[in-house]
């Protein structure tokens, strides 16, 4: 066993056996991310408040009520023996380094031994907040008090949706939402639920992801390129760790979750590359439960520098109750594919690393359940492919809108959407595949979900790819090969900050009137001459964002204090509303006056209010109203003693390819976006590149650093890593 660090500190490990390779991966993960591993383990087990105090109480309560620890144990027990051997070896590597790595950290006690099932808990904890729960909480809160058609319009989906397959197809999908009387049913089922204790940690609605794959017909090398960037909240440390692990069975490199072996989402071996975006599938349901008809237990959460907190955990046959109101004897239980039954997703991790073709990797995905992802694939033989991987339950259509009664068998899960009916594609004629959390296909059967990201990012990526193909002389239909796309072209797409939503807004200004020489007239002139690029020096980007904020304040949704809207976290309410703008804008342009009234009047008033706000907050000089002044990254520090990545001005917004998402109703700070970027060149693995926020200068410049894969290069430029106890474990295993 040996390991090296390249010039960016990225570890590369080489061992003889599979077990030794994962032992090395676990050991190196601790050396680089030991405190983060303690954090994600404790967060999944519901014990992080023991380290940081009461600020972690809500998260710990949620993890315990969902039952992540018990679910992880169940899932670990059903894994195949060869998978368990991987997790055991990984845990051995972790334990060889964990005590020493955390010796100087501010922990209340020495870290517990890392058990193999802890990695399953970490994996579940990483994904429980990414399901459809947040969307259903939103509608459960609002349907009883807001007309169903209004609630249904406040979604990120656009009126015309770009689908993943077939490439470039645009469809009107999901035109109809809940029936008008559905809110009355929800109100009756909730049984007066109002003064609730809400601990459900909603996913960040401003997050997303991009990925795309290009066939060799359009590339310089003649082999595919696969690229993308996962989007999550900006946190320090980031969720992904760059590493490279090799043995006699495989040679794999990619982005891992510290605490989980393998490369479940982004990586490549010697012959196949893969990358994902969040599939946005409906894999979680909320069930209304009568609390006196479910099992009950109490648990005690130890809180640093405070008294222990005793919580009541209610569990029904549907799942753990995550929202409860004891006075109303009512709660909402979460049923999720990751906890509903023992899950064998992680049996896929090792076979992924030994696949030799897209077809083989696709077949491995039959065993994948959590999460549901848009998986892009490519191989050195020239194949490219797409698969919506993961399990989606079959159930009544009412489950898809909001919470449903747990006591009624009509709403029970009845099975799973068959693997062969999930959207997929192989070697499309155009040679391009793109996903950006948009709808997988126009087919509404089988039901996958209602809620997807709008098409702005996916449409822009496809535009840029087609422009690159056209520049190389291709006909765009798979005819003459272009042969001009390379890693540099992928980097340019990563860094693109043109907003198609902003362009639609500019196009809507035709009938907005203003008195000559007025401030409104000045702003209209700035916007009408703008190309929608959200650059740091753009004044128009600031005006557009502030006007968008003012317009969304007109949307008739109740304040959080109203009735069942207490179910809704402020972040979820404002984030969902912010991302609904592209859909609401399309409706307004089509003549819909429900949300904004007469559009030209609403925009004119919004521009007046924008001018007033910016003059008060910045000053009267328009030259000072630059987007970079308002839009700066805000990283959250997760760990005690680990400072956050420094914030800097950043271009883009939620709908640009270079995502720098904001909850614009609350703040213009960038709180989520690309937490990694990568480009895999299957014509020359050594020409691949990647970056994470910890490589701060390169990340802010949207520039990739080398992804070294050739062991001759690694040995020449690398610095040896002393594996110490991990090497001793390997010797003992022999």
CA distance 608 to 525: 14
Residues with Cβ within 8 Å of 697's Cβ and at least 6 positions away in sequence, in order, are none
Kind plus residue range of the DSSP H or E element containing 616: helix 599-617
CA dihedral of 711, 712, 715, 717, whole degrees rounded to 10: -110
Beta bridge partners of 43: none
Residue given tokens 């409104």 in the structure block: 520
What DSSP string describes 154-181? SSS--SSEE-TTTTT-EE------S-TT
CA distance 166 to 434: 10
The closest of 285, 295, 395, 405 to 339, measured between CA atoms, is 285
Q: Is 318 helix (H, G, I), strand (E, B) or coil?
A: coil
Question: Counting Cβ atoms within 10 Å, is residue 62 exposed (0-12), middle (13-18) or buried (19+)?
Answer: buried
The Cα-based distances of 688 to 358, 467, 719 in angstroms read: 19, 22, 21
Helices (H) and strands (E) in the chain, counts: 23, 31
Q: Which of 119, 132, 209, 441 is catalytic?
A: 209
CA distance 11 to 242: 8
User: Which residue spans within 564-713 are E strands per DSSP?
Assistant: 636-637, 660-661, 672-674, 677-681, 689-691, 705-706
CA distance 564 to 543: 34
Phi and psi at 330, nearest 5°, equal: -140, 145
- Interior angle at CA 638, CA 67 and CA 496, nearest 5: 105
Beta bridge partners of 272: 379
Beta bridge partners of 233: 672
- Interior angle at CA 241, CA 238 and CA 244, nearest 5: 170
Q: Is 334 helix (H, G, I), strand (E, B) or coil?
A: strand
Using only the alpha carbons of the chain, give its radius of gyration: 25
The closest of 654, 651, 655 to 672, measured between CA atoms, is 654
The closest of 193, 196, 182 to 146, measured between CA atoms, is 182
CA distance 159 to 174: 9
Angle between helix 18-45 and 725-733 (nearest 10): 120
Residue given tokens 């609002």 in the structure block: 142
CA atoms within 13 A on the CB side of 526: 21
Residue 477, token pair as written in the block: 């239909």
The closest of 38, 545, 6 to 258, measured between CA atoms, is 38
Residue 388, token pair as written in the block: 């919506």
CA distance 169 to 148: 29
The Cα-based distances of 33 to 25, 108, 310, 512, 577 in angstroms read: 11, 19, 31, 54, 36
User: Is 209 noted as a catalytic residue in this protein?
Assistant: yes
Active site (catalytic) residues: 209
């Amino acid at each position: 066993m040996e390991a090296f660090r390249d010039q960016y500190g990225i570890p590369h490990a080489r061992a003889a056996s599979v077990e030794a390779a994962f032992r090395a991966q676990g050991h190196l993960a601790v050396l680089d991310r030991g405190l983060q591993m303690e954090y994600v383990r404790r967060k999944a087990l519901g014990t992080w408040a023991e380290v940081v105090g009461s600020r972690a109480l809500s998260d710990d309560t949620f993890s315990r009520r969902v039952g992540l620890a018990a679910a992880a144990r169940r899932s670990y027990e059903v894994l195949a023996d060869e998978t368990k051997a991987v997790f055991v070896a990984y845990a051995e590597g972790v334990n060889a380094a964990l005590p020493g790595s955390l010796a100087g950290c501010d922990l209340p006690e020495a870290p517990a031994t890392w058990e193999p099932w802890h990695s399953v808990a970490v994996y579940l904890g990483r994904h429980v907040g990414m399901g459809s729960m947040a969307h259903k909480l939103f509608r459960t809160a609002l349907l009883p008090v807001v007309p169903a058609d209004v609630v249904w319009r406040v979604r990120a989906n656009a009126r015309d949706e770009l689908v993943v397959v077939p490439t470039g197809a645009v469809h009107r999908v999901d035109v109809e939402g809940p029936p008008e009387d559905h809110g009355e049913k929800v109100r009756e089922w909730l049984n007066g639920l109002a003064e609730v204790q809400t601990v459900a940690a909603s996913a960040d609605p401003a997050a997303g992801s991009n990925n795309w794959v290009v066939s060799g017909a359009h590339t310089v090398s003649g082999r595919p390129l696969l690229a993308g960037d996962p989007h999550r909240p900006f946190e320090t440390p980031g969720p992904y760790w760059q590493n490279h692990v090799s043995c006699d069975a495989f040679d794999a490199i990619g982005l891992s979750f510290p605490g989980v072996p393998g490369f479940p989402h982004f990586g490549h071996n010697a012959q196949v590359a893969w990358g994902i975006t969040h599939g946005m599938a409906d894999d979680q349901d909320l069930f209304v439960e009568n609390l006196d008809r479910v099992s009950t237990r109490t648990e005690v959460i130890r809180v640093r520098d405070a008294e222990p907190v005793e919580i009541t955990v209610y569990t029904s046959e549907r799942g753990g109750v995550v929202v409860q109101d004891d006075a109303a004897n009512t709660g909402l239980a979460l049923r999720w594919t990751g906890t509903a039954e023992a899950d064998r997703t992680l049996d896929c991790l090792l076979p992924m690393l030994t696949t030799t073709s897209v077809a083989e990797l696709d077949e491995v995905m039959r065993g994948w359940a959590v999460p549901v992802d848009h998986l892009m694939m490519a191989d050195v033989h020239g194949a490219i492919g797409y698969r919506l991987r993961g399990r989606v339950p079959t159930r009544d259509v009412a489950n898809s809108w909001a919470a449903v009664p747990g006591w009624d068998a009509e709403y029970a899960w009845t099975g799973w959407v068959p693997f062969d009916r999930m959207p997929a594609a192989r070697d499309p004629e155009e040679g391009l595949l793109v996903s950006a959390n948009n709808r997988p296909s126009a087919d509404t059967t089988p039901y996958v979900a209602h809620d997807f990201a709008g098409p702005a990012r996916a449409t822009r990526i496809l535009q840029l790819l087609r422009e690159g193909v056209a520049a190389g002389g291709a006909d765009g239909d798979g005819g003459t090969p272009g042969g001009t796309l390379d890693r540099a072209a992928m980097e340019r797409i990563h860094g693109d900050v043109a907003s198609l939503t902003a362009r639609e807004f500019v196009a809507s200004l035709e009938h907005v009137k203003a008195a000559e020489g007025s401030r409104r007239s000045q702003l209209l002139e700035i916007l009408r001459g703008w190309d929608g690029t959200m650059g740091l020096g753009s004044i128009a980007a600031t005006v557009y964002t502030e006007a968008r904020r003012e317009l969304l304040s007109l949307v008739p949704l109740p304040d959080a204090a109203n009735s069942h809207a207490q179910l809704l976290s402020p972040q979820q309410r404002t984030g969902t509303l912010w991302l609904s703008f592209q859909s609401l804008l399309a409706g307004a342009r089509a003549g819909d006056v429900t949300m904004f009234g007469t559009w030209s009047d609403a925009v004119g008033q919004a521009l007046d209010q924008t001018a007033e706000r910016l003059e008060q907050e910045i000053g009267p000089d328009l030259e000072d109203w630059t987007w970079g002044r308002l839009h700066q990254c805000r990283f959250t520090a997760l760990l005690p003693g680990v400072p956050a990545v420094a914030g800097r001005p950043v271009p883009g917004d939620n709908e640009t390819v270079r995502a720098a998402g904001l909850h614009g109703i609350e703040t213009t700070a960038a709180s989520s976006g690309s937490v990694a970027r990568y480009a895999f060149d299957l014509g020359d693995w050594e020409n691949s590149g990647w970056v994470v926020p910890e490589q701060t200068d390169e990340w802010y410049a949207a520039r990739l650093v080398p992804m070294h894969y050739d062991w001759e290069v690694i040995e020449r430029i690398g610095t040896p890593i002393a594996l110490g106890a991990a090497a001793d474990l390997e010797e003992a295993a022999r």
